[in-house]
A and B are shown apart, each in its own frame.
Chain A
Amino acid sequence: MAEASTATAPAARPRKRSSGRPDNLGLLLNNRLATAGLAIFALIVLTALLAPLLPLPDPDVTAPADRLLRPLSEGHLLGTDALGRDILSRLVWGSRVSLAVGISATLIAAFFGSLIGLVAGYAGGRVDTLLMRGIDMVMAFPYILLALAIVAVLGPGLLNALYAIAVVNIPFFARNIRGIALGLSRREFVDAARLSGKSHAQILFIEVLPNVLPVIIITMSTTVGWMILETAGLSFLGLGAQPPQADLGSMLGDGRKILFTAPHVSIIPGLMIFALVMSINLIGDGVRDVLDPRLKSGALTRPVARTAVMRDHAPGKFLPSPGAVLDVRGLRTEFHFGREIFHAVGGVDMRLGQGECLGIVGESGSGKSVAAMSIMGLVPTPPGRITQGVALLDGEDLFSVSDERVRQLRGSAVSHVFQDPLSTLHPLFTIGDQLIEAIQAHQPLGKARATEKAAELLKLVRIPNPAERLKAYPHELSGGMRQRVCIAMALAGDARIIIADEPTTALDVTVQAQVLSLLDALRRENNTGILFITHDFGVVSAICDRVAVMYAGQFVETGTTAEILSSPAHPYTAKLIDCVPVLGQPERRLDAIEGRPPVVNDLPVGCRFAPRCPRAREDCRTGPIPLTRFGAGREVRCIHPLTREAADA
Chain B
Amino acid sequence: MSAYIAKRLLAAIPVLFGLTIIVFLIMAMIPGDPATAILGSYATPENVEKLNRDLGLDKPLLQQYLIWIANLFQGDLGRSYTLNRPVLDEVLERFSATLILAGTALVLCSILGLIAGVISAVRQFSWVDKTITLVVLIGISIPSFWLGLLLILVFAVNLRWFPASGMYAIYGGGGPLDLLHHLFLPALTLAVVATGVIARLTRTAMLEVLRQDYIRTARAKGVTENRVIYRHAFKAALVTVIPVIGIQAGFVLGGAVYIETVFQWPGIGSMLVKAISTRDLLLVQGGVLVVASAYVLFNLAADVLQTVLDPRLR
Contact = CB atoms under 8 A, between A and B. Distances in A.
A144 B143 contact: no
A424 B220 CA distance: 11
A301 B210 CA distance: 9
Interface stretch (B88-96, B171-179, B181-189, B222-230): B222-230
Contact of B214 (A148, A281, A425): A425
Given A411-B222, A426-B232, A145 B291 contact: yes
B206 to A, nearest CB: 8
A143 B250 contact: yes
A263 B152 CA distance: 11
B137 A282 contact: yes
Given A25-B125, A489-B221, A239 B277 contact: yes
Interface string A393-413: 000000000010001111110
Interface string B92-132: 00000000000000000000000000000110110001100
Nearest to B216: A378
A403 B222 CA distance: 11
A278 B137 contact: yes
B129 to A, nearest CB: 8
A174 interface: no
A266 B219 CA distance: 54
B140 A142 contact: no
B211 A411 contact: no
B5 interface: no
B251 A143 contact: yes
B143 A259 contact: no
Interface in A287-328: 300-303, 305-306
B149 interface: yes
B273 interface: yes
Interface in B217-244: 217-225, 227-228, 232, 235-236, 239
Contact of B121 (A302, A376, A411): A302
A562 B275 CA distance: 88
Interface centre among A26, A141, A239, A270, by most B CB within 10 Å? A141
Interface centre among B27, B219, B220, B228, by most A CB within 10 Å? B220
B191 interface: no
A409 B222 contact: yes
Contacts of B217: 416, 418, 424-426, 486, 489
Contacts of A489: 217, 221
Contacts of B232: 426, 429
Interface in A128-166: 136-138, 140-146, 148-156
B49 interface: no
A259 B261 CA distance: 14
A301 B214 CA distance: 17
B272 interface: yes
Contact of A424 (B216, B235, B288, B312): B216
Contact of B220 (A153, A277, A378): A378
Interface stretch (B14-22, B53-61, B66-74, B76-84): B14-22
A442 B275 CA distance: 66
B305 interface: no
Interface in B1-60: 15, 18-19, 22-23, 26-27, 29-31
B207 to A, nearest CB: 5
B255 interface: yes
A460 B236 CA distance: 30
A156 B276 contact: yes
A428 interface: yes
A412 B220 contact: no
B146 interface: yes
Interface residues of A, number: 88
Given A278-B141, A378-B216, A437-B223, A141 B153 contact: no
Given A145-B253, A239-B276, A423-B212, A473 B295 contact: no
Contacts of A252: 143, 145-146, 149
Interface centre among A154, A408, A437, by most B CB within 10 Å? A437
B64 interface: no
Contacts of A239: 273, 276-277
Contacts of B22: 137-138, 141
Contacts of B166: none
Of the four ranges (under 10, 10 to 19, 20 to 34, 35 or more), the interface on chain B belongs to: 35 or more
Given A144-B255, A278-B137, A273 B146 contact: yes
A274 B142 contact: yes
A415 interface: yes
Contact of B122 (A148, A150, A259, A302): A302
Contacts of B311: 427-428, 473, 475
B288 A145 contact: yes
Contacts of B273: 148, 237-239
Contacts of A427: 214, 236, 310-312
Given A151-B276, A260-B157, A441-B221, A426 B124 contact: no
A545 interface: no
A148 B257 contact: yes
B281 interface: yes
A102 interface: no
Contacts of A306: 219
A256 interface: yes
B309 interface: yes
Given A149-B26, A252-B146, A300-B207, A141 B216 contact: no
Which 10 pairs between the two chains have the least Cβ-Cβ distance? A270-B146, A144-B254, A411-B222, A142-B250, A410-B222, A278-B141, A142-B254, A416-B220, A423-B213, A426-B214
Interface of B: 15, 18-19, 22-23, 26-27, 29-31, 121-122, 124-125, 129-130, 137-138, 140-143, 145-146, 149-150, 152-153, 157, 204, 206-208, 210-225, 227-228, 232, 235-236, 239, 249-251, 253-255, 257-258, 261-262, 272-273, 275-277, 279, 281, 284, 288, 291-292, 295-296, 309-312
30 contacts: A7-B208, A25-B125, A140-B296, A141-B292, A144-B254, A144-B258, A145-B257, A145-B272, A145-B288, A149-B26, A153-B281, A236-B258, A236-B261, A271-B146, A274-B142, A274-B146, A277-B142, A302-B124, A302-B210, A410-B222, A418-B216, A420-B213, A423-B214, A424-B213, A424-B217, A426-B214, A426-B218, A426-B236, A441-B224, A473-B312
